[in-house]
Amino acid sequence: MSIYELSRTRYDQSKRYLAGGVASSLRAAMKPVPLFAESAEGAVVRDVDGNAYIDYLLGYGPLILGHAYGPVNEKVYAAMQRGITFGLQHQGEIELAKLLTEVLPCADKAVLSGSGTEAVMLALRLARAYTGRSKIIRFHGHYHGWSDSIYTSFPSADMPSASASAATTGAVPPGTAGQSELSLHDVILLPWNDQAALEAALAEHEGEIAAVISEPVMCNSGCIVPRPGYLEFMRKATADRGIVLILDEVITGFRLGLGGAHGRFGIKPDLVTIGKAMGGGFAVSGVAGRAELMALIENGTVSHLGTLNGNCVATAAALATIGELAKDDGAAYVKMEKNASKLTAGLRTLLGKHGIRGVVNEIGPVFHFMFTEQPVVEDFASFNLRDSAKYALFAERMLDAGVLVRPNGLWYVSAAHGDAEIEATLDAADRVLGGLR
């Protein structure tokens, strides 16, 4: 009998009622079967079959403090007792917005929403309204949510329907069937980390571009950091042309430090989108930035809607999570980065031990592990040369060994991971890599 027998049964049952059997398309890619969780605590998640896994998926990023973190749960529970949502204003909104303006270097004001996709939608709307222009520059391999106006084909091992042609054609392929033919008409898709390509596009479309939207680190596609001077050029080139610079920090925000990646790199965008780690596992996101842009919401020029925006649970979770991350001068970040470095160093050593070619790109407590013949992976084209099938097999065998990792190679380390989890993970990786040669 399979050790995933009950998960298989639940999956078959789920498909009778839930389209695709999963609540998010990403989850369908898990092999040998999408797992059904029973419970989790700290760095460990348990499935319905009773199997326990050291978790580096971390809910696709939000669980920066680990599962079922007591201090956050306590404050959320206390907020729930007073009322979950009112459709009215409450103190938590003020406190969270104030905190965001204090910790995010670019934030004069902030607004709250429910998901990263919603935050990006609002940021793009603000940029277009502010500039009176329509075109948006975005980059290959970046992910900005799944709304029609920005979702393009996104090659990835856990997004199997996407077309790899997006890396080279320069076209703007839709991310899914059902998108309007006109939805991406105003999107200009460029290679990232390529200053010359960006400069040429800005010159060609002078006076037409409302915004440049970019992840400050290309997390989903290789955890690739910006080349020296690239973000600085992006900032100056957009400012000189009156273009709104949006840094999408739904992944990097509160994961690379309280000030996000833009604080870490010393770049001040006009707008930043945040989510995931901000809520510690609860659904909350936001947009923060310059007062002149936020004024468009204040005066009613731009609509910002959402029944559950700034609800009591979301604000309590975000306040508690950020508060925990800020304790002891950010001790949680020191711990996470130390453990992530220990883990990535160990994985590189194991690649050498077993004679397997691979790359581990790391920044802070997030890294991308890939099998590739390329000595370095510094752009999307190089990333697409990885052996994604081999890594998917590695992820499946790591699951058998008691370690849960995302099939596309992106790993998150939380404050709940410690020496015992790192050592057990490396021991499992040693056994699995030994069988991949």
Active-site residue flag, 390: no
How many whole angstroms separate alpha carbon 216 and alpha carbon 252?
8
Active-site residue flag, 248: yes
User: Active site residue: 53, 56, 276, 412, which one?
Assistant: 276
User: Active site residue: 158, 194, 248, 379, which one?
Assistant: 248
Active-site residue flag, 11: no
User: Active site residue: 53, 56, 69, 143, which one?
Assistant: 143
User: Which sequence positions are flagged as catalytic?
Assistant: 143, 248, 276
